[in-house]
Structure 1
Amino acid sequence: MPQRRAITGRSQEPRVRFGEELRLLRAARGVSLRTLADAVGWDASLFGKLENGHTLGGPEVAQALDQYYGTGRLVLTLWELAVADPTQFKERYRQYMLREAEAVSMWQYSPSIVPGLLQTPEYASELLTQGGLTGVELDKQVTARMGRREPLLAEGGPQFRAILSETVLRSPLSDPVAWQAQLRHLLAMGERPNVTVQVLPHAMGLHALTNTHTMFLHHAGRIVAWVETGYSGELVQESTAVDRLQLRYDRVRDVALSPGESREFIERILEEAPCEPSI
């Protein structure tokens, strides 16, 4: 899709506009990337990638740039819009992403991987690499996935319940250190007042969502569901179909470990996790 242009001649695509504005701010100050890096405290290559749209960096970088340029919260606001931009995702996910951003609560069941909202950058990177992404596109998708977490981490963020099959916790990353960090991240997220993490042990046997990634998005007076496999995803909006899926989810939740028991289960997995790669 061609970029939409505003009357200013600048892009209205949030990610592209972010890079454009950073280039303009630096040009107006009349400094090189090296001078900017020395003043702000990050490597010059990072600022080059920010301006070229190869990465979005993190909020701390945006805040440092605001302070350097004296722009209030302008850069941080542009960064927030860029990381939340649904056009960063494949077409079939865009409608879902918009609804996820507006949800007041979310319930998820994951049979095989850590839910996107609970992933560390290292987990997301390895998972997306296995899906065939590399280079700039990989960096772009990891940044976008991390950006999805921002509403969840904000004060007054939506309620989120994630039920994880034991399979999720028995499928480690190739880097043991990164895997331990992911497990600790699950524990930390489970401590947040708006996040509940539960584990469904293998011992519970077969159930109605054995191989179905499912997310329920609750809006004012309405629930929609997203079901996904490794090849496709579908937004389920018809109320009867959503009700059937929710009944299955409720039955899974009934047999899952409590949040406290789930925390203990994850801690045991963490204790068992190797600290170094096997030779």
Structure 2
Amino acid sequence: MPPRRVVTGRSSEPRRRFAEELRLLRTQKGDSLRKLGEVLGWDASLFGKMESGKTLGSPEVVEALGQHYGAGRWLLTLWELAVGDPTQFKEQYRRYMTLEAEAVSLWQYSVSAPPGLLQTSGYAREALMAGGSKGQELNQQVEARVGRRELLEGEEAPPFRVILSEAVLRTSLRDAYEWRAQLEHLAEAAECPNITLHVLPFRAGPHGLMSTDTMFLRLLNGSTVAYTETDVRGELIEEPSRVERLQRTYDAVRDLALPPAESRKFIMQMLEEVPCDPSI
């Protein structure tokens, strides 16, 4: 195999570099995508998406590719840089947002904040300000986030199932008036025919999604994609086997959550703890 270019933490555009190197390695070995799929045991479309930059694949896939191409640790190092690319969070989130608008059904688990689709303008503003947004940029982001709520409105609105950790309902806003408005909005959303809302109480104990916001989108072509997000990283997951494993974890969490009727009662109880007059 010809010598590779040096891989360092300063490599520019790691995701694009990773995709380019995958195409180069396959071309040099003379493999077709179909042959690669047959040899390694994954669907050929996965390798096509990796080479086009649509997905990064899993470490298991990258390790198998490294062994197949004789690239050893070098390819996995480049993959790790691509995963950690700070620009990738925004790129994958933008793609997720595009897919969200086309989804025929949605599922979500929220760790500490209401999902964007159910946030009031007051909540969105305070949350975005905490993240450093200000001025005109802040106004634009609030407008964009609140505008997403239109997806769940109307007769053709897709079904949306959301699980809220109790932490979502315990992490109040500084503005008591806006916090009350957010809780009221969640209670109203729980009554919408296309929205199924669960609360996961603290007493449910440890589970597989304790620190990760997780979203699933079922698309028109019947496929399902997932998006996971922490404070420092977001990842769009399209590989069917990974999505399926994540869905099983989500289902296990849902089984621990309160039924919809009890969940709404839980929210109403939280509302009783918030004064009607914010000056009190």
Report the counterpart of residue 142 of structure 1 in structure 2: 142
Q: What is the TM-score normalised by the length of structure 1? A: 0.66
Distance 1:240 1:246 in 2: 10
Q: CA deviation at 1:154?
A: 2.2
Give the aligned partner of residue 125 of structure 1.
Answer: 125
**Cα offsets for 1:113-148 (capped at 9, x unmatched):** 010000000000000000000010000001111111
Question: What is the identity, as a one-letter code, of the residue corresponding to 2:181?
Answer: A
In the alignment, structure 1 residue 179 sits paired with structure 2 residue 207: no
- The whole-number CA distance in structure 1 between the counterparts of 2:154 and 2:135 is 30
CA–CA separation in structure 2 for the residues paired with 1:224 and 1:208? 18
- SS of equivalent to 1:235: strand
Corresponding residue for residue 193 of structure 1: 193
Report the equivalent of 2:271. Answer: 270
Tell me how far 1:186 sits from its aligned partner.
0.3
Give the 3-state SS of the residue equivalent to 1:230 in structure 2: coil
* 1:207 partner amino acid: H
Separation (CA, whole Å) in 1 of partners of 2:199 and 2:136? 34
Alpha-carbon distance in structure 1 between the residues aligned to 2:190 and 2:264? 8
Provide the rounded CA distance (Å) in 1 between the counterparts of 2:253 and 2:279: 35
CA-CA distance at 1:276 after TM superposition: 5.2
Identical aligned pairs, as a percentage?
58
Q: Deviations over 1:59-94 (max 9, x none)?
A: xxxxxxxxxxxxxxxxxxxxxxxxxxxxxx943421
In structure 2, stretches of 5+ residues that fail to align are 1-88
Q: Please state if 1:256 is matched with 2:249.
A: no
Q: Does 1:229 align with 2:226?
A: no
Q: Which amino acid aligns with 1:175?
A: D
**Whole-Å Cα distance in 2 between the matches of residues 276 and 133 of structure 1?**
29
Larger Rg computed on CA atoms: 2
Count residues in correspondence.
191
Q: Distance in 2 between matches of 1:175 and 1:276?
A: 11
The 5 A counterparts of 1:36-185 are 90-185=90-185
CA RMSD of aligned residues (A): 1.6
List runs of 5+ in structure 1 lacking aligned partners. 1-88
Please give the alpha-carbon distance, in whole angstroms, between the structure 2 residues aligned to 1:143 and 1:91: 20
Take 2:179 and 2:249, find their aligned partners in 1: how far apart are those partners? Answer: 30
